[in-house]
Amino acid sequence: MPSFQPIEAPKCPRCGKSVYAAEERLAGGYVFHKNCFKCGMCNKSLDSTNCTEHERELYCKTCHGRKYGPKGYGFGTGAGTLSMDNGSQFLRENGDVASVRNGARLEPRAIARAPEGEGCPRCGGYVYAAEQMLARGRSWHKECFKCGTCKKGLDSILCCEAPDKNIYCKGCYAKKFGPKGYGYGQGGGALQSDCYAHDDGAPQIRAAIDVDKIQARPGEGCPRCGGVVYEAEKKLSKGREWHKKCFNCKDCHKTLDSINASDGPDRDVYCRTCYGKKWGPHGYGFACGSGFLQTDGLTEDQISANRPFYNPDTTSIKARDGEGCPRCGGAVFAAEQQLSKGKVWHKKCYNCTDCHRPLDSVLACDGPDGDIHCRACYGKLFGPKGFGYGHAPTLVSTSGESTIQFPDGRPLAGPKTSGGCPRCGFAVFAAEQMISKTRIWHKRCFYCSDCRKSLDSTNLNDGPDGDIYCRACYGRNFGPKGVGYGLGAGALTTF
């Protein structure tokens, strides 16, 4: 029987050690440790949003632009900070990257040597009160107070004093001096048996697990690989059980969860973007948003072949006379009904009978002919004709003849009184009165005496001649004249 050969775990390009699933970070096709996933120049911690890989080395976007981006005027991080910065401030004289902490460069300094056993255990220099850190009864420099293995900065909480008279962080202390083997380590999420400085002596763990090794009965296993799905790795979608490893988008292989998974008509799972591209509507007005409408390179034949289409026939089920949809006569069910003047319509049929514009309860107008119209078509068919109606200056007569008997809208007969409208002299009734300076006007007569602009209580100005004006005409007729006065600093007049 052949001996078991474990699959070798991938190596981190930064430190060269094996990377296991619980601590891996992906960038540029390479696998890094979480602690190694930082910028190679400024030492800034990175994530998937600001990481840039170049020749197996990681950089933040700023440092990558400094080292490999275009230089000179017109480039850089913004119009206000164009520069020729190439990151030389992070390099030593020999070309290596200088040590950086929290984004600040640490300049090398000369340290006075202390007598043996009295100075900093790490560098041997004098330690003054302003920079001392205490551990094992000894004083350390603050910049020397870091883990002896991973060089992580420590404090009184993270520091662990080891039997070798050095200090370590909790993780490195557990790896070097803690119990070994499965079941120990940093926690359930990162169980390890890293018992040597290098991982040559540690037992290898399979990085890739063949989930289809144990096949299930037809129709019962994982839909992607057909293997048996156990409880610890189960993912549910549309009543079917998937392996956690197999629960990814069929097209782009993006890892999915219960929020972004979409079940396709082919009984596979997709992310939302790929589902929309493959099964959603295509063409202008659809896709990823109105700001970037696209058809994803599909031809009309491909769209028609791949997209399920159903055109409902509302007349297939006829209703009894007088009970169905007034437009097509078909039966109207509750899921598609629209109400108008006691009648029930199909949602598909609920549009203007003239321009076929889709309607709703706000836009629909019931006409005398028993049909429904949009507001514009209703006004053309059944509204008053000619100039002088409505609130818009563009109402026209569709027949070319005016139906207005009195175009100016003023009475031609009746007594004129001294208490009537100052403009026309006829009596003013309560339904049409406008008040100005204790005088009552008709609403139709309440306009500027010069420019004929309609007025209201907000732009009304009473003139000394007893008439009313808009603000502009009042200032022109009765306001102060000369340079410095008028309608404003931009339009000084001497009218």
pLDDT higher at 87 or 145: 145
pLDDT number for residue 427: 84
- Cβ of 22: how many Cβ atoms within 10 Å? 15
Residues 246-297: tens digit of each pLDDT: 899 988 888 888 888 888 888 899 998 888 888 877 654 444 444 444 555 5
Q: Any long-range contacts for 242-251 (C-beta under 8 Å, 24+ apart)?
A: 242/269, 243/211, 245/209, 245/211, 246/211, 246/222, 249/274, 250/274, 251/277, 251/278
Q: What is the mean pLDDT of the chain?
A: 75
Token digits of residue 308:
């399920």
pLDDT higher at 311 or 203: 311
Q: Is residue 398's pLDDT more than 80?
A: no
Beta strands in 248-335, from DSSP E residues, in sequence order: 262-263, 269-270
DSSP string, 446-459: -B-TTT--B--TTT
Could you tell me which residues are beta bridge partners of residue 170? none
Q: Is residue 74's pLDDT more than 70?
A: no
Per-residue pLDDT band at 448 (split at 50, 70, 90): very high
Q: Please tell me the distance from the alpha carbon of residue 211 to that of residue 205, in angstroms, as a whole number.
A: 15
> What's the number of CA atoms in the CB half-sphere (13 Å) around residue 312?
12
Q: What is the mean pLDDT of residues 303-308?
A: 61
- Segment (H or E) for 59: strand 57-60
Q: What is the mean pLDDT of residues 191-213?
A: 51
Q: What is the mean pLDDT of residues 198-215?
A: 57
Q: Is residue 125's pLDDT more than 60?
A: yes
Q: Is residue 120's pLDDT more than 60?
A: yes
Residues 347-381: tens digit of each pLDDT: 889 999 889 888 888 888 888 888 999 988 988 88
- Cβ of 370: how many Cβ atoms within 10 Å? 10
Instruction: Please name the amino acid found at residue 315.
Output: T
Q: Is residue 76's pLDDT more than 60?
A: no
Report the candidate in 474, 447, 472 with the shortest Cα–Cα distance to residue 463: 474
- pTM score above 0.85: no
Residues 16-34: tens digit of each pLDDT: 888 888 888 888 788 888 8
Residue 142 in contact with residue 134, Cβ under 8 Å? no
Q: Please tell me the distance from the alpha carbon of residue 34 to that of residue 22, in angstroms, as a whole number.
A: 9
- Cβ of 470: how many Cβ atoms within 10 Å? 20
CB burial of residue 312 (10 Å; 0-12, 13-18, 19+): exposed
pLDDT higher at 272 or 481: 272
Residue 322 in contact with residue 329, Cβ under 8 Å? no
Token digits of residue 259:
């929020």
Q: Is residue 345's pLDDT more than 80?
A: yes
Burial 98-114 (b: 16+ CB within 10 A, else e): bebeeeeeeeeeeeeee
360 Cβ partners below 8 Å, 6+ apart? 338, 350
Q: What is the mean pLDDT of residues 86-114?
A: 57
pLDDT number for residue 249: 92
